[in-house]
Chain A
Amino acid sequence: METVVQTEAESKPRGVFQKVYDFLSSVKLAVVVFFLLAAGSISGTIIEQGLDPQEYITRYGEKWYYWINLLSLPNVYHSWWFTLLLALLAINLAVCLSKRLPTIWRAYYVVDCDFTHNLVQNFKNSTVIKFQGTAEEAKHKTLAILKGHQYKLWMENGPKGISIFAAKGRIGRLGSTLTHISIFIILSGTVISSAIGYRTFYPVYEGTPLYIPQGDFYLVLDKFWIDYNEKGGVKDYFSKLSIIDKEKKVMTKTIQVNDPLQYKGVWFYQSSYGMAWDRIDKALIRITDKKSGKVVTEEVLDFRKAKEIKGADLRLTITNFVSHFAYDPKTKQVYAQSPEHENPAIQLEIVEGGQTIATPWLFYDPKLQGMFPIDKSKYDFVLADYRAPQYSGLQMAKDPGVNLVWVGSAFLMAGLFISFFIFHRRLWIRIEPSEKSAIIYLGGLANKDAFGFEKEMKGILESF
């Protein structure tokens, strides 16, 4: 292992710039940043992300919520401090790289043929061979053996002897540089993703065109269907989608999970499906006469379409639907608490005798039916049945950062492979004539895999 030269800076008086530079390139900073990033990441896996404040208070109590909120723990991966740490990591990476690059480059590039046998004997792996033959013969033999081991060779003939420098796998030196640059590229990809990448979820209904402003075109769901397996479980679900651009149908594709559609850089992924929570197709309304208690009629009503009820002087319209009834007293709004059909209700507009007399909410739950009779009407109204349309849950994404992430990932793999499996090995050989024979001094260095290098050295010696 070669030690990194770090003493130059220490002997000089250090200016502010130098201090900042040293701080930003220090391993200590890297360790602290890594530790904090890890701690933040772990907290995000323990504390569930993105819940309502109320939910955190019930789980952890007011006191803890104060700290949870202060540290942005409900959204930790996008909090200011997590982002700051990532930025520090990137800066540390860049400064470290710039600091080490000259050393790496020297090791990669320098060819060293100007040395004496003293240098050769200083290496941990070094030997002296007495060669029976002339120096010239020793040189040819050495060159042949090293070529057999795939070494690249440089040579210099001096008055006192021959110096040979041999090296292979020097690209291995650049592996770590490539790896660190790749991390930088991946980080920039994620920055672009979060800055201009766009992701959203659409519940899409059959036949209702959806305008996509990111690509200025319309998306239409032609059909949605589900395939079931023998056990009755969901095997697969599909959406047949069409793209309408400038009033022309330009594309049709049936997508499913793991098979998205892409148009103009906008991707549509099959993500889920479900029953609508804010609309229905049809509902069955049972109308009873208050006096006699007899059912007058049962009427099927379309959503948001007025219907005259014959013989009853009524006009009914279903104006709204919620799948899970909830009422917000502050805004006096009715809303769906969840997309589940837990407590479905419709709002019915009742026009009786030419006047709108009430707009009550009717519940599907039998326990809640008839709780609020409509005083002004002769009739009672009950929501007997309804049918909600199924939506196809589509995830839409437009993210130019993705490609940069993939480029970075490819570099990362290449960098790791080069730095782990290509070893830079260098040999210094000095051949000096002595009377009838020659003395060969052989020494070398490997940046990694000391065991493998020793083995190769042994092999080379045996060849002599």
Chain B
Amino acid sequence: MFNSFFLSDILLWVYLAAACCYIFYMALKKEGIGHLAFALTIIGWLVNTATLIVRTIETGRAPYANLYETMVLLSWLVVMGYIAIELKYSNKLRVVGAVIVTLAFLAMGAAAMLPYRYQAIEPLIPALQSNWLILHVITTFVGYASFAIAFGIGILYLLKERAEHRVKPSFFDRFPNSELLDDLNYKFIAIGFPFVTLGIILGAIWANYAWGGYWSWDPKETWSLIVWFIYAGYFHGRLVRGWRGRKTAYFSIIGFLAVIFLYWGVSFVLPGLHAYA
């Protein structure tokens, strides 16, 4: 009964409650609800941590070997990223929390709805029995999580930027100013990009060690390269051409949609070496 699935079910509801609190906080402008939302986020993150630990004990290995397990990891990282923002900027950026915790809730919901074979504890196939698994998966998912946060901030930016052009007071007045959002959007992509790059490199080293080839144009590899190109394009736009604001916000959204395809689409739609997750 006290297993990882039970914990992740609870987690789903805690994140939902936290996300609702954030949204009420935005609507009602009551600080108390904001504090409650943050407290629930912390509780959720602790349950998330416990889920990962229990899963490790259940499987006797690093819990990153199938789609369900990596979703738990991803929401853990994303929420941790938000908690870091909250600690740094105190309660100024709680609206970011509304988006990020909702994303974590959606991630856990999607994980819960996966067919059982993507959730079940299976013994590791020989190709995955390696310490490279931990390094490769963690670096990649720190990258994905950063891109997810940048995606959330990108959406907020677009909403806020449009509202700033209007004179009437609006719901979006409580959003942090667009320049700060733009800066944060850049910072998370600047964290995510080196991590995803490292994830790809570690994957190549591992593939070379396990299969004797560092690159085989497997769909997962190919799509990771496409994602890499998109964010490389983002940096060239921003740092060479001086793009700011709307253009880069759209870029961060498109980039993350490509990440979702890389992460889920490739696993379900395209056959390949990387079939496990």
Contact = CB atoms under 8 A, between A and B. Distances in A.
A49 to B, nearest CB: 7
A413 B180 CA distance: 27
B270 to A, nearest CB: 5
A396 B213 CA distance: 10
Interface string A34-46: 1001100110111
Pairs A-B, 8 closest by C-beta atoms = A257-B126, A45-B219, A269-B212, A397-B212, A395-B212, A258-B130, A409-B201, A416-B194
A257 B194 contact: no
A236 B126 contact: yes
Given A45-B270, A237-B126, A412-B201, A38 B229 contact: yes
Given A257-B127, A412-B201, 20 more contacts: A27-B236, A27-B241, A30-B236, A38-B229, A41-B226, A45-B266, A49-B217, A176-B239, A199-B212, A229-B123, A258-B127, A258-B129, A258-B209, A260-B209, A269-B211, A271-B212, A395-B212, A397-B212, A405-B214, A412-B197
Interface of A: 1, 3-4, 27, 30-31, 34, 37-38, 41-42, 44-46, 48-49, 77, 176, 190, 199, 229, 231, 233-237, 256-258, 260, 267, 269-271, 395-397, 402, 405-406, 409, 412-413, 416-417, 420-421, 448, 450-451
Given A41-B226, A45-B270, A402 B129 contact: no
A77 to B, nearest CB: 5
A41 B227 CA distance: 12
B50 interface: no
A414 B132 CA distance: 20
A207 to B, nearest CB: 24
Contacts of B213: 199, 395, 397
Q: In the complex, which range does the number of interface residues on chain B fall in?
A: 35 or more
Contact of B211 (A1, A44, A271): A271
A409 B215 CA distance: 13
Contacts of A450: 183
B212 A260 contact: yes
Contacts of B271: 48
Nearest to A75: B217
17 contacts: A1-B242, A27-B236, A30-B236, A34-B229, A37-B229, A41-B225, A46-B270, A235-B126, A258-B127, A258-B209, A397-B212, A402-B214, A409-B201, A413-B194, A420-B191, A448-B239, A450-B183
Contacts of B214: 402, 405
Contacts of A271: 211-212
Contacts of B209: 258, 260
Contacts of A257: 126-127, 129, 210
Contact of A45 (B211, B223, B240): B223
A138 B71 CA distance: 58
Contacts of B132: 258
Contacts of A258: 126-127, 129-130, 132, 209-210
A298 to B, nearest CB: 39
Contacts of B272: 45
Contact of A395 (B127, B130, B211, B229): B211
A41 B208 CA distance: 21
B42 interface: no
Contacts of A451: 180, 183
Contacts of B126: 234-237, 256-258, 270
A420 B194 contact: yes
Nearest to A227: B126
Contacts of B163: none
